[in-house]
Amino acid sequence: MVYAFDDAGVLMHQGIGLEAFNAMPMRRAVHAVYECCYSVPLAADLARGRRYDSHDQLFRQTDALLFGLGEDSIDSILQAYPDIGKRPGSEKSQAEQCAVWCDQPGVMDQLGEASKHYLEHFGFGFVMFVNGYTAQDVLAAMSDRLLNDYETERKVVRNELARINRTRLERMLGPEGGYDNW
């Protein structure tokens, strides 16, 4: 098992393996999942649903639970996400939207302005699965998404949260079949 800490110094479970997750005490399993999804109801339901036979089974259940949450729960999850570029260039958060960075003049300012406009327009903060995307890609996506109506954007947000959850859960579990202990 590998322990890592996020930028706020919070313990993040990494590479624990599916068997270890299945065997964890309930409270610890809820904590491990919460670190991935920022939802106590989702984390508790996922932990209660154990025993998972494969990563894919756990991922499908996570998606089902996420898409079954009420809008208030989604709003609570969104509150946990830092703004785009909040921790520019952070190695610990490199796959997260807070680490998006561009050294071209004005791009980060444009992202900040677009993020404010998004919040004013929809009433909730922008969230996007950004792993591998540049700041310009994120800016383009945000600009496109500002054209959505409220209901469409809420659906897009759930899909983005599902992608983020899967990546975080993959990091929490480690590779299918676990790590070789030699």
Interatomic CA distance for residues 175 and 44, integer angstroms: 23
Q: How many CB atoms lie within 10 A of CB 87?
A: 20
| Structural domains counted in the chain | 1
Structure letter (DSSP) for residue 12: E
Residue at 178 is within a domain:
no
Q: How many CB atoms lie within 10 A of CB 31?
A: 16
* Arithmetic mean of pLDDT, 1-22: 63
Residue at 75 is within a domain:
yes
Region of residue 177 (phi > 0: left; psi between -120 and 50: alpha; otherwise: beta): left
* pLDDT confidence band for 16 (50 / 70 / 90): confident
* pLDDT confidence band for 58 (50 / 70 / 90): very high
pLDDT of residue 9: 38
pLDDT of residue 50: 97
Residue at 181 is within a domain:
no
pLDDT of residue 177: 64
- Domain of residue 59, residue span: 2-173
- The CA distances from residue 152 to 37, 50, 102, in Å, are 21, 33, 29
Structure letter (DSSP) for residue 101: -
Q: Could you tell me the pTM of the whole model?
A: 0.84
Residue at 52 is within a domain:
yes
Rg (CA), the chain: 17
Residue at 179 is within a domain:
no
pLDDT tens per residue, range 124-179: 999 998 888 888 999 999 999 999 999 999 999 999 999 999 999 998 998 876 66
**pLDDT score of 45 more than 70:** yes
Residue 9 or 18, more confident: 18
pLDDT tens per residue, range 63-114: 999 999 999 999 999 998 877 656 555 444 445 665 566 788 798 889 889 9
* Arithmetic mean of pLDDT, 9-19: 70
Q: CA torsion angle for 166, 13, 6, 66 (degrees, to 10)?
A: 30
Residue at 88 is within a domain:
yes
CATH of the domain at 27: 1.10.3330.10
